[in-house]
Amino acid sequence: MNHPPESSAPELAPLFLKLAGKPVVVVGGGAVAAGKLAQLARCGADLTVIAPEVLPEIDAARVRILRRGFEPSDLDGAWLVVAAATPEVNREVAASAEARRIFVNGVDDPVNASAYSGGVIRRDGVTVALSTAGRAPALAGLLREGIEALLPERLSGWLERAEALRARWRADRVPMADRRPRLLVALNQLYGCAVAPVTRPAAGDDTPSGGFVSLVGAGPGDPGLLTVKAVKRLEEADLVLYDALVSGQVLRHARKAHCFFVGKRSGRPSVKQATIHRMLVAAAAHGKRVVRLKAGDPFVFGRGGEETLALAEAGVPHEVIPGISSALAAPALAGIPVTHRGLASGFTVVSGHAEEAYGPVLAALRPGATTLVVLMGLGTRGPLVEMLLRLGWPGRTPAAAAIAASTPEAFTWIGELADLPAAALPPSHGPGTLIIGPVVALARDAGAAARPVTRARA
């Protein structure tokens, strides 16, 4: 049997209790007690409130009230107790409950609690609860609001469908492992969101109202390179779904929004693209102003086209706010023009993620005829350079690797194509951009790189 380390707290056992008709004691008569009382009343509990004084709303509730101090015998026969009094009284309640093997919910007093309530969402027979083990109730509340915004409006239909299928699958002895994928297929057949109508802005005002999605480019990293419209949409947003490489400084503009990470990084678990589509559609269906925040530009290897098509198919009003792609920003900030009279009249941008993606493009290029910009190619630069050399690109072709462009960790290596695979590059979580072509020599000759540069050759 595996035991947690001694330094870690034991995990909580999440349970949903049937309290209808069960004796439950609430100790305290203030605002916190009143809030707990309302929640427990919805559960049908047999409630007793114990406090010398109670608020008018507690007095008006149909519950038993004992206007006096707490006595240990008050817990005899109780199934659950809520301690919502002073810390001194809560400690006495907790000790009395422990002696009687009764769970006690110590409100905002985790030391004197053996049961914790959480942020609760109730909709159409579905209950979702979140807990931070009493450490941060406000965080549980924020998470509750964020998740509630993403739940489908008509959960009752989902519940009815799932209940009917469960009975059928039990009768047919369908294994539990097979039920979830079958249920997903069945629910997708029911899925449909009526998007809240959009009120078009008045003249001079481009702020949408109602359910609306903005696909926003966050630029290369520096928040100062955000467009004015991108900042405006972040400030207005109710929900932000952001990608990897988006900095925390950029997210600070979304002061009113719930921000959820849905980014993808190579080789790591990530949110599926179809799930992101459903999140966007569902949030807009609830009338939310949603920002889908992507590093660089949404339409440059950002799958923005896929998301636009999904939104259009679902009838969700949306817009695209371009961002500065690192395909342009990284070379520029390193002092490398991607086009220059007499050296390069054009440039080609490819993803270096997989050879099957960049291979056909490189094979179609005449060596040196264009500036080659490779995004996401640091990890594959060896095979990529090998292919370019095989295709006839000279090994002395100027080359550069720009890492974490526009951020304080920015670093630029400048050298020759043949030396690029073995280049000593610093570890970085930022994006990397390769620039290959005669224009790289301009930065080397002018010494124009704005950040630390490793020069491979004089």
Tokens of residue 176, six digits: 């539990």
CA 443 from centroid of its chain's CA atoms? 38
Q: Which of 74, 222, 238, 243 is an active site residue?
A: 243
Q: Given the structure tokens 């100062």, which residue do they identify?
A: 224
The pair of three-digit structure tokens given for residue 20, joined into one six-digit string = 């209808």
What is the spatial distance between Cα 381 and Cα 364, in angstroms, rounded to a whole number? 19
Q: CA-CA distance, 135 to 328, in Å (whole number)?
A: 45
What is the rounded distance in angstroms from the CA atom of residue 435 to the CA atom of residue 311?
34
Q: Return the HEC string of 150-175.
A: HCCCCHHHHHHHHHHHHHHHHHCCCC
Tokens representing residue 445 in the block: 């000759």
Q: Which contiguous run of DSSP H or E holds residue 310?
A: helix 304-313
Q: Which residue has the tokens 């690029």?
A: 420
Expressed in angstroms, the distance from the first to the final Cα of the chain is 63
297 is catalytic: no
How many whole angstroms separate alpha carbon 374 and alpha carbon 326? 10
Cβ-contact 217, 294 below 8 angstroms? yes
Distance CA 63, CA 47 (A): 6
Q: Quick check: 8 and 29 in contact, CB under 8 A?
A: no
Write down the residue that tokens 């590093």 correspond to: 295
- Give me the catalytic one of 22, 229, 232, 264: 264
Burial of 181 (0-12, 13-18, 19+ CB in 10 A): exposed
264 is catalytic: yes
* C-alpha radius of gyration, the chain, whole number: 30
- Asked if residue 426 lies in contact with residue 215, where contact means CB atoms within 8 angstroms, the answer is no
Residues taking part in catalysis? 243, 264
